[in-house]
Structure 1
Amino acid sequence: MTAKIRYGVVGTGMMGVEHLRNIALLPDAEVVAIVDPVATSLGWARDALGDHAAAVESFDDVATFARTAQVDAIVVASPNHTHRAVLDPLFGMDAAILCEKPLATTLADARWIVECAAAHPRPFWTGMEYRFMPPAAAFIEQIHAGRVGTLRMLSIREHRFPFLPKVGDWNRFARNTGGTMVEKCCHFFDLMRVIIGSEAVRVYCSGATDVNHLDELYDGQRPDIIDNSFTTVDFANGVRAMLDLSMFADGAEHQEEMTATGDAARLDVLIPPGNLVFSPRVGFRGEKRVERTRVAIDPVAHAAGSHEGATFFQHLAFAAAVRGEAPVEVTATDGLRAVEIGVAAEISAREHRVVDIAEVRALDASDA
């Protein structure tokens, strides 16, 4: 590999442009190629590249890119349902790959990607930015250090804005996204696994489309993506987790709130503004001993994306893996596990029942 990591970015819509901005902040890295079949998206990428755009090759198909581009690392930020087709030729290149979440929209495609990643000689990384938000990372570190004692309960709340428009409106339909519980909530199911340190065994999700997109039609079809849900997940080690999602709460002060409760204390994180709130047990009517701290976020990294600086810190870790200086922190199998929980949640919401992860894993390729 050359001293400077040469990147190609496949898919230059909203998230692809965020990757371009963050790669530009990395030491010893440069974007040398961009790929997108939509001319408008390529234009957004050139705007993001600024003066460097003239030196960057542009491709409108991934097959030509895979045959001719000279890159050390590839970022895949194409629409969810295209990941398998996009990755197929990329696995033939001598380059590390970072594939955006969700790994795939179906279990069959996710399993195929895991198999190919295992055979690929270079690092493969699933893009799970939320792990790398500085406040979330501090939250995770303190839980793993035992600050709450033995963890027994985890709750995550995301109250946010509706899904934004995407090129071709692909994100309005579950057939393209995997459904909201896969597309969006894979982040939180991944966080649950990381924080709890165990695997999910059963899922119950109550969700519906109640507010967003009800007046939208695309070629006569109404969007079918869930816009609010409660999901509980039981883990093999006995810890229970809950996700509270609302996609029509744009006015909420905190977009994400996470609470870990153990036998010794409770720890909360609020994102933004990055506050950690530690509340040790004090006994009945005991005087509260709440401690509040704030995790600072680098303003440059924060300005380069919409994930509280997480994309930049993920890229630092990915670049270290590309150079062979550190292991892959988010594997293809991690991506598959998050998709499994998301698929279970989608089934649960549709069929109004508890779904065992063993049932999901038993689905054959035709059903998955």
Structure 2
Amino acid sequence: MKDLSLATVKYGVIGCGMMGQEHLRNIALLPNARVAAIYEPSEAMAGAARALAPGAVQADSVDALLARPDIDALLVASPNHLHLSQLEHIAEHRPLPILMEKPLYTAPEDAARVARIAASYPAPIWVAMEYRYMPPVATFLQQVEAATGGVKMLTIREHRFPFLPKVGDWNRFNRNTGGTLVEKCCHFFDLMRLVLKSDPVRIMASAGQEVNHLDERYGEEVPDIWDSAYVIVDFASGARAMLELCMYAEGSRYQEELSAVGPTGKIEALVPGPTRFWPGPVSEAPVPQVIVSPRAPKAPRAVEIPVDPALLDAGDHNGATYYQHVRFLEAVRQGASCEVSLQDGAWAVRMGLAAQLAAQRGAATYFDG
């Protein structure tokens, strides 16, 4: 195997749409890393990608990209419903280290295919759960145990903008995305397991399409993606978590709000939405905060967690994409374990699918281990 401990890591990128381009901008900021080749079937997206990575070769297929000997690692940022088949193809033909965008899969029957790959893949596969690496969320994760004395209740609220247009409008339909509680919310189910250090046993949900996309038509089809939800999860540890999602609340001061409470106190993380969506001089984007509130003595402490403006300009995830690549490259260069494993990625999807089912049935979904 090639020694990458000191070398420049050369990425091959599969999928250069909106999220793929965010990755390209962040890879350009990394020392000793560059994009060597891209595969993107949309000429409009490929043109944008070439402008962001002018030294990259444009491959005309996934196979052509995998055949290039100068590729050291892969980034897969294609539409959701292509992730698993592309992962299987890579596993069969050239199993390089992979940063695989979420969600890992989109349908319940896909879980066994993921398990087969996990059992035999010889290189790191890191599932891209960017929210872990937002600076205020990372601070929250570092301090959550000390601040709470052990989390008993975890609440995650995301009040944000609607789904953005994508190539071919693929993200308007559950068959492509896995559903809103998979596509959008797998991040939050991942955070729940990470914070609570436990797996779920029961999940309840109420969700639907209330405001967004109701007047959109794509051929004969009407979008079926949801725009709002409440989800409650019971964990094996006895802890509880709740998710509140609203995708017609882009006027909110903070986009994500995390709150964890335990016997000794409470900690919160407040994360603003993408800087590019703030109305400039009319309203300055807020600075992320982490607030620790002990039960005794009652003295809440708020600390601002500013993010490098260059990282804010490079993407919509509060600097997280850059920090995720830094950690992924450590795994590639040093053989370190992946912080977000295939198992983590699979659990996040499993919870999202279970929440979708619970909302559809109007009854709790139970996990069988």
Please show how residues 320-359 of structure 1 align to structure 2 within 5 Å: 320-358=330-368
Q: Structure 1 stretches of 5 or more lacking a match?
A: 362-368
Report SS of the residue matched to 2:13.
strand
1:17 matched to 2:27? The reply is no
Cα distance in 2 for partners of 1:337, 1:94 equals 22
Residue-by-residue CA offset, 1:188-243 (whole Å, 9 max, x unaligned):
00000101110011100100100000000111111101100000001100000000
Q: Structure 1 residues 117 and 14, CA, compared in 2 at 3 Å: closer, same or farther?
A: same
Report SS of the residue matched to 1:143.
helix
Matched with 1:207 is 207
Aligned match for 2:322, one of 291, 295, 312: 312
Cα distance in 2 for partners of 1:158, 1:109 equals 27
1:83 shift after superposition: 0.8
1:94 shift after superposition: 4.5
The one-letter amino acid paired with 2:40 is D
1:93 shift after superposition: 1.2
Q: Structure 1 residues 73 and 117, CA, compared in 2 at 3 Å: closer, same or farther?
A: farther
Please show how residues 1-368 of structure 1 align to structure 2 within 5 Å: 1=2, 2=4, 3-49=7-53, 53=54, 55-68=55-68, 70-91=70-91, 92-144=93-145, 146-272=146-272, 273-282=287-296, 288-358=298-368
Deviates further, 252-261 or 295-304: 295-304
Q: Is the 8 A contact 1:107 1:336 kept in 2?
A: no
Cα distance in 2 for partners of 1:82, 1:172 equals 15
The one-letter amino acid paired with 2:293 is S
Cα distance in 1 for partners of 2:150, 2:122 equals 39
The one-letter amino acid paired with 2:78 is S
The one-letter amino acid paired with 1:335 is G
Cα distance in 1 for partners of 2:212, 2:184 equals 15
TM-score (ref. length: structure 1)? 0.92
Cα distance in 1 for partners of 2:121, 2:149 equals 40
Cα distance in 2 for partners of 1:211, 1:202 equals 28
Residue-by-residue CA offset, 1:297-352 (whole Å, 9 max, x unaligned):
12222221110000000000000000125321001110000011000000011111
Q: Structure 1 residues 32 and 223, CA, compared in 2 at 3 Å: closer, same or farther?
A: same
Q: Is the 8 A contact 1:103 1:110 kept in 2?
A: no
Q: Structure 1 residues 25 and 117, CA, compared in 2 at 3 Å: closer, same or farther?
A: farther
Q: Structure 1 residues 101 and 306, CA, compared in 2 at 3 Å: closer, same or farther?
A: same
Report SS of the residue matched to 1:41.
helix
Q: Structure 1 residues 36 and 69, CA, compared in 2 at 3 Å: closer, same or farther?
A: farther
Report SS of the residue matched to 1:151.
coil
Cα distance in 1 for partners of 2:139, 2:268 equals 11
Cα distance in 2 for partners of 1:107, 1:329 equals 24
Q: Is the 8 A contact 1:76 1:97 kept in 2?
A: yes
Cα distance in 1 for partners of 2:173, 2:69 equals 33
The one-letter amino acid paired with 1:95 is L
Cα distance in 1 for partners of 2:37, 2:69 equals 7
The one-letter amino acid paired with 2:288 is G
1:261 shift after superposition: 0.5
Residue-by-residue CA offset, 1:9-47 (whole Å, 9 max, x unaligned):
100000000111111111111110000111111111012
Report SS of the residue matched to 1:147.
helix
Q: Is the 8 A contact 1:110 1:336 kept in 2?
A: yes
Cα distance in 1 for partners of 2:51, 2:225 equals 31
Report SS of the residue matched to 1:302.
helix
Residue-by-residue CA offset, 1:72-98 (whole Å, 9 max, x unaligned):
110000000011222222122142011
Q: Structure 1 residues 23 and 110, CA, compared in 2 at 3 Å: closer, same or farther?
A: farther
Identity %: 47
- Computed over aligned residues only, the root mean square deviation of the Cα atoms, in angstroms, reads 1.4
